[in-house]
Amino acid sequence: MEIGKPQRKYTIEPIRDPVPRRTREEPPPEKRPATAPPGEPTRRGE
């Protein structure tokens, strides 16, 4: 591709990733039930 002579060089570090987070190949993560880890009581003393 012809784009002419170089004029200057700089760096770009985008704040937001230009790559879409979710593409068709990356399905949304499965929702897990909001339960406490096994063996861990939800309330103390019960």
Partner 1 sequence: MIGAPDYLDPVEGWRVWRVGARDGQVVLQSVFVDAVWEPGRALEARCEHRRRSLWRPWRVVTSEHPAPDEQCSCGIYAASTRSAARRYLGVPSPVGTGMRVIGRVSLWGDVVESESGWRASIAYPAQLYVPIPTEHARRSLRRRAVVDEVAVGLESYGVPVELVAGEPGESILSALSW
**Binding-site ranges for partner 1 (CB under 8 A):** 1-15, 18-26
Two tokens, residue 22: 């979710």
* Nearest to partner 1 of 25, 40 (CB atom): 25
DSSP 36: P
Two tokens, residue 20: 């879409």
For residues 36 and 21, what is the distance between their CA atoms, to the nearest angstrom? 29
- Least Å distance, CB 27 to partner 1, is 12
- Least Å distance, CB 30 to partner 1, is 19
- Least Å distance, CB 41 to partner 1, is 41
